[in-house]
Amino acid sequence: MKTLITGGAGFVGSHLAEELLNRGDKVVVIDNLSTGSMDNIEHLKERSKRFSYYIDTIMNEGLMRRLIKGCDIVYHMAAAVGVKYIIDNPLESIQTNVRGTEIVLDLANSQGKKKVVVASTSEIYGKDRPGKRSFREGDDRVLGPTTISRWSYSSTKALDEFLALAYWREKKLPVVIVRLFNTCGPRQTGRYGMVMPRFVKQALLGQPITIYGDGKQTRSFTYVLDVVRAIAELAQDKKAVGEIFNVGNPKAITINELAQKVKRLAGSGSSITHIPYEKAYEKGFEDMRHREPDITKIRLLIGFRPKVELDEMIANIIKYFKR
Ligand code: UDP
């Protein structure tokens, strides 16, 4: 297959590039390096003749037309990501997530109805609700006010999903939507807010490990290699077309326990501190207490089960940061 990965120099996108190269595909990447990095793909340039890349924006319609025309399938991973990044760059986040996705879907439709795999997010489900921890694809979305940027991110990704489903229903453009739940692994940076790389880096540098709020909130973390394997398999399955899938690891942990675990596995002498949300994020923030994926749907279709457990994920991330 000739594949195009938008956002292919990003954290998930670069691992997906590697997975597809391992499967024998030809991989073309487009990335504007807003949150991605050349370091993520440097080794692929050397490793394979089937790999090439363009440093450009997905808003460049002329280039995108050419790239989509030349491929068999588009993996649309380019998006504004990370709670901190979204809060700091609200306008760019909306434009990238909405206009960017519209360009990709429109060109995929006009350039030969190329299949598009759209990366979405567990943020779609929105706010906490009493007694609910696990989320299924058909669940309601519950969002906060428009003054809080987090909900704009959730809404832009929801619009991406609406757009993709509309192209499928109205134009028969084959689309597959994947909702990723707290993916982590090597190459993820803490610069945009993500807790795992931040804790690991703090632990290795002997700096205080910073827990926001009371730390009793939970998250379920999924290793990036489990995620890209799931994406590659869904992309090949005819029954996945027009469907939405949670991709994640249902096992949850409190952020307090995560801090302890990272500290222990890193052999770190760091202290662990709690920071009020108002200090952690200047404005426009609302945290979520609990969020776990129900993965029945993806398990029934492709037999997906996450293979990598939390201790192994953390150990691999520690190894990466040490290097
Ligand atoms: N978090 C934290 N310390 C940090 C960064 C994040 O305690 O340095 C918390 C954050 O408030 C949230 C959880 O860790 O409760 C996961 O945050 P992240 O931004 O990684 O993912 P998301 O909130 O999008 O699930």
Q: In this predicted model, what pLDDT tens digit does every residue of 271-304 receive, in sequence order?
A: 999 999 888 876 657 888 999 999 999 999 999 9
Q: Percentage of residues in the chain with pLDDT exceeding 90?
A: 87
Query: Tell me, what's the pLDDT at 283?
Result: 64
H or E stretch including 195?
A: helix 195-205
Query: Tell me, what's the pLDDT at 191?
Result: 87
- What phi and psi, each to the nearest 5 degrees, are found at residue 51? -110, 135
Q: From residue 284, how far is each of 33, 121, 152, 194, 287 by CA, in Å? A: 25, 19, 10, 17, 10
| Active site (catalytic) residues | 153
Query: Cα dihedral sign for 146, 148, 154, 159?
Result: positive
Query: Tell me, what's the pLDDT at 280?
Result: 83
Nearest CA to ligand 1 atom 3: 211
Say whether pLDDT at 16 is over 80.
yes
Q: How far is CA 157 from the centre of its chain?
A: 11
**DSSP string spanning 69-126?**
HT-SEEEE-----SHHHHHH-HHHHHHIIIIIHHHHHHHHHHTT--EEEEEEEGGGGB
Say whether pLDDT at 163 is over 80.
yes
Question: Quick one: average pLDDT of 191-211?
Answer: 96
Residues in the chain: 323
Q: From residue 172, how far is each of 1, 69, 71, 79, 159 by CA, in Å? A: 21, 17, 18, 24, 18
Q: Coil, helix or strand for 43? A: helix
**Cβ of residue 211 lying under 6 Å from some atom of ligand 1:** yes
Q: In this predicted model, what pLDDT tens digit does every residue of 89-142 receive, in sequence order?
A: 889 999 999 999 999 999 999 999 999 999 999 999 999 888 899 999 999 999
Query: Tell me, what's the pLDDT at 241?
Result: 98
Distance 136 CA to ligand 1 centre (A): 22
**Cβ of residue 179 lying under 6 Å from some atom of ligand 1:** no
**Cβ of residue 219 lying under 6 Å from some atom of ligand 1:** yes
Give the model's confidence band at 87: pLDDT under 50 very low, under 70 low, under 90 confident, else very high: confident
Compute the C-alpha angle 141/222/315, nearest 5°: 150
Q: In this predicted model, what pLDDT tens digit does every residue of 237-262 receive, in sequence order?
A: 999 999 999 999 999 999 999 999 99
Question: Quick one: average pLDDT of 80-88?
Answer: 83
Contact 227, 275 (CB under 8 A): no
Query: Tell me, what's the pLDDT at 105?
Result: 98
Which of 125, 210, 212, 279 has most ligand 1 atoms within 8 Å of its beta carbon, as the pocket-test mutant?
212
Query: Tell me, what's the pLDDT at 8?
Result: 98
Long-range contact set of residues 157-162: C-beta below 8 Å, sequence gap at least 24: 157/79, 157/97, 157/120, 157/121, 157/123, 157/124, 158/124, 159/97, 159/98, 159/101, 160/79, 160/97, 160/98, 160/101, 160/118, 160/120, 161/118, 161/120, 161/124, 161/244
Average pLDDT, the chain: 95
**Cβ of residue 121 lying under 6 Å from some atom of ligand 1:** no
Query: Tell me, what's the pLDDT at 314?
Result: 98
Question: Quick one: average pLDDT of 302-322?
Answer: 98
Query: Tell me, what's the pLDDT at 284?
Result: 58
Nearest CA to ligand 1 atom 8: 195
Q: Which of 40-54, 74-88, 107-121, 180-194 has the weakest average pLDDT? A: 74-88
CA 83 to ligand 1: nearest atom: 19
Note the CATH architecture for domain 2-188+221-250+291-307: 3-Layer(aba) Sandwich (3.40)
Q: In this predicted model, what pLDDT tens digit does every residue of 164-190 receive, in sequence order?
A: 999 999 999 999 999 999 999 999 998
Distance 82 CA to ligand 1 centre (A): 9
Distance (Å, rounded) from C-alpha 295 to C-alpha 292?
9
**Cβ of residue 96 lying under 6 Å from some atom of ligand 1:** no
CA 217 to ligand 1: nearest atom: 15
Question: Quick one: average pLDDT of 211-220?
Answer: 96
Distance 219 CA to ligand 1 centre (A): 8
